[in-house]
């Protein structure tokens, strides 16, 4: 049996430049993996089977199944695999759990089936599965553009503790599409936050909170009507700043000092809130 870790991610920047002729939006973003991980276990089987520890995860609709089916068709591999998914990343929370699971399936099956495909050969398959999936083939820190599928790994990331607050709000149908639709012309930027953040990381600077930016924050606090209350509670508990993770509704802050991060997480948990403590990851997690 092969076990693969599928890490969550945060966006240090997430800029939307405008709508493209194909109907998608052009983005520029800095993405950073963190060590809050789902676990995917794989073993040989006659056909594709996917099991999960949460009943509400549909089999054929989830990205792990789609990734496995896509790779089997691409490689013409004659048999299959049983894939068992243990979820630790909150679903539909802006942390990329589904996309990371799909990338873990591609990486894991490539090894289990001994296909010998390179990351570059897996990238077109990842892009078919979703805009965030290519990033998770690399992990660590990276910049991305286009729909998010054009990924450039960064040599340096940041080292920090990540405190995540998952509000547990009701799921919105087509959440990301709804947020993109809510954006207006004055919410679009030119990629300047992403360029400055990439330069700062390349030079090894300590993270400048003033460079953290998420275009969805201009609309998310209207779409998720009680999200602002959670941000205020996060700040009141001791966070110096709070930003939206991806398309939300998870909120996060970064803290260099472990004890301060632990105290903040304990304070939020003591209020009955769902809090996660993680660290940033400099490189892709290997199979374990």
Q: DSSP labels for 213-259?
A: EETTHHHHHHHSTTHHHHHHHHHHTT-S--EE-TTSS-EEEEES-HH
* Whole-angstrom Cα Rg for the chain: 19
Q: Which residues, at least 6 apart from 140, have a Cβ–Cβ distance to it below 8 Å? A: 32, 33, 153, 154, 157, 281, 282, 283, 284
User: Residues 196, 141: contact at Cβ < 8 Å?
Assistant: no
Secondary structure element (H or E) that encloses residue 49, with its range:
strand 48-52
| 82: Cβ contacts below 8 Å, ≥ 6 apart | 42, 43, 44, 45, 49, 50, 51
Q: Which residues pair with 28 in a beta bridge?
A: 15, 145
Catalytic residue list = 9, 132
């Amino acid at each position: 049996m092969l076990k693969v870790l599928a890490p969550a991610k945060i966006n240090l920047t997430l800029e939307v430049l405008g709508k493209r002729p194909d109907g998608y939006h052009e983005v520029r973003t800095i993405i950073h993996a963190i060590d809050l991980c789902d676990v995917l276990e794989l073993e040989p089987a006659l056909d594709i089977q996917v099991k999960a520890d949460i009943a509400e995860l549909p089999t054929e609709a989830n990205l792990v199944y789609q990734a496995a089916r896509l790779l089997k068709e691409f490689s013409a591999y004659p048999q299959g695999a049983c894939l068992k998914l243990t979820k630790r990343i909150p679903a539909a929370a802006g942390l990329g759990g589904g996309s990371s699971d799909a990338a873990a399936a591609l990486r894991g099956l490539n090894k289990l089936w001994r296909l010998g495909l390179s990351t570059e050969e897996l990238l077109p398959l990842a892009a078919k599965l979703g805009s965030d999936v290519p990033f998770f083939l690399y992990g660590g820190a990276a910049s991305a553009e286009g729909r998010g599928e054009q990924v450039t790994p960064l040599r340096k990331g940041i080292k920090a503790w990540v405190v995540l607050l998952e509000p547990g709000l009701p799921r919105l149908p087509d959440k990301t599409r709804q947020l993109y639709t809510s954006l207006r012309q004055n919410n679009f930027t030119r990629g300047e936050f992403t360029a400055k953040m990439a330069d700062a990381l390349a030079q090894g600077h300590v993270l400048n909170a003033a460079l953290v930016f998420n275009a969805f924050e201009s609309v998310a606090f209207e779409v998720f009507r009680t999200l602002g209350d959670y941000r205020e509670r996060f700040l009141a508990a001791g966070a110096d700043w709070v930003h939206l993770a991806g398309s939300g509704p998870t909120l996060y802050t970064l803290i260099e000092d472990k004890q301060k991060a632990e105290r903040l997480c304990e304070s939020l948990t003591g209020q009955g809130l769902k809090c996660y403590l993680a660290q940033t990851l400099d490189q892709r997690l290997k199979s374990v």
